[in-house]
Amino acid sequence: MKLKTFRGGVHPLYAKELTSHKSIREMKAPSILVVPLQQHIGAPTKAVVKPGDEVLMGQVIGETDQPVSAKVHSPVSGKVIAIEPRPHISGRSVLSVVIENDEQDRWVKLDTHFDPIQLSREEILAKIFEAGIVGMGGAAFPTSVKLKPPGQAKIDFLIINGSECEPYLTADHRMMIESPDDVILGAKLLAKAVGASKIIIGVEDNKLDAIKVLEEKKGSDAISIVALDTKYPQGGEKQLIKALTGREVPSHGLPFQVGVIVHNIGTAIATVEATRDGRPLIGRVVTVTGSGVSEPDNLYVRIGTPIKDVIEACGGFNGEPGKVIIGGPMMGLAQFDLDAPIMKATGGVLVFTQDETVQYDPMPCIKCSRCVDVCPAYLLPLRLEKYGMYDLWDEAADYGAMDCIECGCCTYICPSKRHLLHWIRLAKNEIVSAQRRQNS
Amino acid sequence: MENNANKRLLVVSPSPHVRDGDTTPKIMFSVVLALFPVIFASIYFFGLDALRILVISSVTAVAAEAACQSLRKKPVTIYDGSALVTGILLAFTLPPQIPSFAVVLGAIVAIVIGKQIFGGLGYNPFNPALVGRAFLSVSFANLMATWVSPFDAVTVATPLQLGSGVVPYAELFFGNIAGSLGETSALAILLGGVYLLYRGVLDYRICAGYLGTVFVLTLVLGHDPVYHLLAGSLLFGAIFMATDMVTSPVTPKGRWIFGIGAGLILVIIRLWAKAPEGVMYSILLMNMLTPLINRFTRPRIYGQGVKGNA
């Protein structure tokens, strides 16, 4: 059988065997948690608690009336000890609520439903909004907003992204194996919320066990489980849509414009917890991995747990670490301050040893065009790189810099070890700032 | 202070944090490896002359590269293998009896005028080895047109000068014919080509476009297509010269156009210009068009020209 896939992409070393067989283990919440008031794309929330307040587990601690945002809840019960800028995985400091854990795990009153699929569309959306759910695959776009596309957009496909194409990460894989019923139910709830008649769960064929168990549990012909070729970035939203539906999202557009909405495995499960159990999003599964970690594992971690505590929970560093990455090796963010906390969209903590931490010296471009061959957006990365290096922003825009999805395939494949994506990102930033200046 | 000095800080760099294992020097040396069957064939057929030219050309090319970079106070990068490739390729385009001084001159021109003047690796518009050969063929026309038979080195005409039907296909294929050092044995060239394809270094579009166009056009025009593929340096040019990454287009469509264009020019030269060979000029002319081809063959970007329903 020919597997579905997209054009372009690369085959990095997947290294998933470090954790793919390890069941999700709940990590004990640390004594101090740091919960950023912004963990999503959109407007930051405002703190609705103040230092000294007692908070319950699941209590709202940050919200806003801005349309694009997501509520923030206390991941433990305890006391607010500070509201101040704290290190954040972006490298900046972000206003955060610092909570001292009383280790009681006293919940707020939860509104549970035995059979959430009976809820109306509006009720599901309201519960997702109340629970502060965001896209848990990395982008962290507020889910309730994504489920209400503007205008009269008709959505016919709901896609659940189970490809988990980032090397090393196995959080989605474990969730599919351990909670297949919740994945299916979550998919149905999300489909109902957006009015989609068809559900596709796309899974890379390196997770055949997950495909098998989902196939057994789906129980409905409205859901199809589709095996995808194992290739990065198979889980890129636009690549996944092309592979599964043959549709192409318009340039600078969004999936709803072609009748598709994509959600992540974690988001589907969080939706079930929000509707059935009434539980807000206060924790998530994180793969803690890499040869720089003593005991790589899949952990259920409370939001706000500092990275250093998560690594400690996996036996600490294995030797002297060289690089600590939040996310996977292809798109993750390298960290310098391990006090930064796990957030709603943090799927992985990857530690490289010093030997693995290689810094590359670029050689001249020999125009081998491997970057062109692997670019899943069909761009000419070598061109965009040059335009980025020489401040040619108009040319970069003309050559489609804004269509770049920043997957990193070009930099990965470059035999001259050039930092292509770095320069393309710079060009994108400059193009956006120029537009902003023009509009203001 | 001492504590800080001992503790190495975490490295922060932009994603991606992993890289493919292939490198530009590895690509260059894979080309050198792919040239080995041709090296053996040339030494087998033309003996010590082949060895002499290969060594002089390679050493001069590498030395010229080092000298240029030293003069420009740039890091010397002879270990990337690119100058070595140019040296070997130039040697293979030369006739077996060419005097050593001409080889030295050719290699210097190839590296200095063909490559370093433009900024070195990656910046040259023309295939450096062919620039060297072009220089020699206009400067020493008679030396560059003196061909000898294999083994006994008797002055003879090349199969292309003799015309089709004179030399059996088998001789053309195995290389027991007169010609430039590297062009005679189709078998050796194909072996190298297969390895490069397997290695992911060779672009099939340029080869297929080039060879396919020559085959079809000569067939349509009533000539012997197999003879035209095997005689002369077409096969060598199609596999080792036209596919030079630096001087060929980067777009998929552009590579087809490059190959087809080179084929077209070759057929025109061979059939109407009354020149027996045309591989060098067909490739150099297409090198010249490469920036233009790149400009007009930009791939359609994902999602461009797609209309959403909202």
Tens of pLDDT, residue by residue over B194-226, are 999 999 999 999 999 999 999 999 999 999 999
Residues B244-262: pLDDT tens digits?
A: 999 999 999 999 999 999 9
Contact B12 A91 (CB under 8 A): yes
| Cα–Cα dist A43/A51, whole Å | 22
Q: Are A400 and A438 in contact (CB under 8 A)?
A: no
Pairwise CA distance, residues B54 & A411, whole Å: 36
Position B166 scores a pLDDT of 82
A77: number of Cβ within 10 Å: 21
Least confident of A221-225, A249-253, B236-240: A221-225
- What is the amino acid identity at position A424? I
Provide CATH code, domain A25-110+280-353.
3.10.20.600
**Is B123 touching A (CB cutoff 8 A)?**
yes
Pick from A119, A111, A98, A73: which is nearest to A281 by CA?
Answer: A73
CA distance A228 to chain B (A): 19
State pLDDT tens for residues A179-217.
Answer: 999 999 999 999 999 999 999 999 999 999 999 999 999
Q: What is the pLDDT of residue B284?
A: 97
d(CA A38, CA A89) in angstroms, rounded, equals 11
Other Cβ atoms less than 10 A from the Cβ of A435: the count is 12
Confidence of residue A304 (pLDDT cuts 50, 70, 90): very high
Answer whether A382's CB lies under 8 Å from A369's CB.
Answer: yes
How far apart, in whole angstroms, are the C-alpha atoms of residue A283 and residue A294? Answer: 23
Give CA–CA dist A129/A280, Å, rounded. 9
Residues of B in contact with A325 (CB under 8 A): 15, 17
Helices (H), A26-169: 121-130, 143-146
Q: Which pLDDT score, from 0 to 100, does residue B3 have?
A: 47
Q: Are the beta carbons of B299 and A380 separated by less than 8 Å?
A: yes
Whether A49 has a pLDDT exceeding 70, the answer reads yes
Q: Cβ of A367 and B250 within 8 Å?
A: yes
Q: What is the pLDDT of residue A286?
A: 97
H or E stretch including A53? none
B50 band by pLDDT with thresholds 50, 70 and 90: very high
Any CB–CB contact under 8 A between A403 and chain B? Answer: yes
Rounded to the nearest 10°, the torsion over CA B120, B123, B126, B132 is 0
Across chain B, mean pLDDT equals 92
Nearest by CB: A363 against B80, B301, B309: B80
Query: Which tokens is A260 given?
Result: 């598709």
The residues pairing with B19 across neighbouring beta strands, listed in sequence order, are none
Question: Are the Cβ atoms of B306 and A149 closer than 8 angstroms?
Answer: no
Tell which residue, A262, A237, A258, has the closest CA to residue A249: A258
- Measured between beta carbons, the chain B residues lying within 8 angstroms of A149 are 310
Tens digits of per-residue pLDDT, A95-137?
A: 999 999 999 999 999 988 888 999 999 999 999 999 999 999 8
Which pLDDT score, from 0 to 100, does residue B7 have?
A: 62
| Contacting residues for A105 by C-beta, under 8 A, at least 6 apart | A29, A57, A76, A77
Partners of B300 on chain A (C-beta within 8 Å) are: 378
B3 touches chain A (CB under 8 A): no
**Which helix (H) or strand (E) covers residue B108, if one does?**
helix B100-112
What average pLDDT does the segment B71-79 reach? 93
Averaged pLDDT for residues A52-60: 96
B69 at A interface, C-beta within 8 A: no
Q: What is the pLDDT of residue B162?
A: 82
Asked whether residue B272 carries a pLDDT value surpassing 80, the answer given is yes
Interface probe with A: pick from B3, B6, B10, most Cβ of A within 10 Å: B10
| Per-domain boundaries in chain A | 25-110+280-353, 116-276, 370-439
Q: Which residues, including other chains, have CB under 8 Å from residue A109's CB and lie 6 or more apart?
A: none
Facing A334 at nearest CB: one of B17, B246, B304: B17
Q: Is B4's pLDDT higher than 70?
A: no
Q: Give B217 to chain A, closest Cα distance, Å.
A: 29
Measured CA to CA, the distance from residue B133 to residue A87 in angstroms comes to: 62
- Which residues 198-217 of A have a C-beta within 8 angstroms of B? none
Asked if omega into A85 is within 30° of 0 (cis), the reply is: no
Say what percent of chain A tops pLDDT 90: 92
Determine the average pLDDT of the residues in A254-265: 94
- Is pLDDT at A289 greater than 70 in this prediction? yes
- Would you call B246 an interface residue with chain A, using a CB distance cutoff of 8 Å? yes
How many angstroms separate the CA of residue A191 from the nearest CA in chain B? 19
Q: Indicate the burial class of B253 (C-beta count within 10 angstroms; 0-12, 13-18, 19 or more).
A: middle
Please check whether residue B121 is in contact with residue B77, taking contact to mean a CB–CB distance below 8 angstroms.
yes
pLDDT above 60 for B310: no
Q: Which of A152, A325, A366 sits opposite B310 (nearest CB)?
A: A152
From chain A residues 165-194, the ones with a CB under 8 A of any chain B CB are 167
Specify the pLDDT at position B2: 42
Contact predicate A204/A165, CB 8 Å? yes
Contact A322/B11, CB-based, under 8 Å? yes
Q: Do B122 and A414 touch (CB under 8 A)?
A: no
State the number of CA atoms in the 13 A half-sphere of A279 facing the CB. Answer: 17
User: Which of A238, A329, A376 shows the shortest C-beta gap to B16?
Assistant: A329
Q: Which CATH number fits domain A116-276: 1.10.240.10, 3.30.450.20, 3.40.50.11540, 3.40.50.720?
A: 3.40.50.11540
Tell me: pLDDT of B12 over 50: yes
Partner-chain contact A250 B252, CB within 8 Å: no
Most confident among A408-417, B179-188, B300-309 (mean pLDDT): A408-417
Q: How far is A90 from chain B (nearest CA, A)?
A: 12
Residues of B in contact with A138 (CB under 8 A): none
B152-167 b/e (C-beta count within 10 Å ≥ 16 → b): eeeeeebbbbeeeeeb
| CA separation for the pair B259, A154 (Å, rounded) | 46
Cβ of B18 and A258 within 8 Å? no
Contact A249, B306 (CB under 8 A): yes
pLDDT(A46) > 70 = yes
For residues A187 and A223, is the Cβ–Cβ distance under 8 A?
Answer: yes
- pLDDT digit string (tens) for A126-173? 999 999 999 998 889 999 999 988 877 789 999 999 999 999 999 999
A408 and B15 within 8 Å at the Cβ level: the answer is: yes
Show the tokens assigned to B211: 């060879």
Nearest-Cα distance to chain B for A214, in Å, is: 31
* Residue A167, C-beta contacts closer than 8 angstroms, at least 6 positions apart: A12, A13, A14, A15, A16, A232, A328, A329, A330, B18
Contact B122 A364 (CB under 8 A): yes
Q: Does A365 sit within 8 Å of B310, measured CB to CB? A: no
B296 contact residues in A (CB cutoff 8 A): none
Length of chain B, please?
310
What are residue A228's phi and psi, to 5 degrees? -115, 150
Give the pLDDT confidence score for residue B1 in this predicted structure.
38
Rounded to a whole number, what is the distance in Å from the CA of A383 to chain B's nearest CA? 10
Q: Which of B22, B246, B248 sits opposite A415 (nearest CB)?
A: B22
Which residues of A fall within a CB distance of 8 Å from B20? Answer: 10, 12, 412-415
- Greater model confidence, B7 or A77: A77
Are the C-beta atoms of residues B115 and B86 closer than 8 Å to each other?
yes
Question: Cβ of B75 under 8 Å from any chain A Cβ?
Answer: no
The stretch B77-88 carries a mean pLDDT of 95
Q: What was the pLDDT predicted at B93?
A: 95
Judged by CB atoms closer than 8 Å, whether chains meet at A357 and B80 is answered as no
The CA R_g of chain A, rounded to the nearest whole Å, is 21
Residue A257 to residue B309, Cβ atoms within 8 A: yes
- The Cα B126–Cα B106 span in angstroms is 15
CATH number corresponding to B24-294: 1.10.3430
Whether a cis peptide bond, with omega within 30° of 0, leads into B16 is yes
Q: Which of A154, A331, A366 sits opposite B245 (nearest CB)?
A: A366
Q: How many cross-chain Cβ pairs, A to B, lie less than 8 Å apart?
A: 180
Give the count of beta carbons closer than 10 Å to the beta carbon of residue A147: 26
- Name the helix (H) or strand (E) containing B203: none
Is B76 an 8 Å CB contact of chain A?
A: no
With cut-offs at 50, 70 and 90, classify the pLDDT of residue B157: confident
Across A339-354, average pLDDT:
96
What CA–CA distance (Å, rounded) separates A155 from A197? 8
The CA-atom distances, in angstroms, between B43 and each of B86, B87, B94, B187, B310 are 18, 16, 13, 15, 68
Residue A1 has pLDDT above 70, yes or no: no
Contact B250/A382, CB-based, under 8 Å?
yes
Q: How far apart are CA A240 and CA A261, in angstroms?
A: 11
Judged by a CB distance cut-off of 8 A, whether residue B15 touches chain A is: yes
Write down how long chain A is.
Answer: 440
Alpha helices for A147-302 (secondary structure H): 171-178, 180-194, 208-217, 237-245, 265-276
pLDDT higher than 90, residue A229: yes
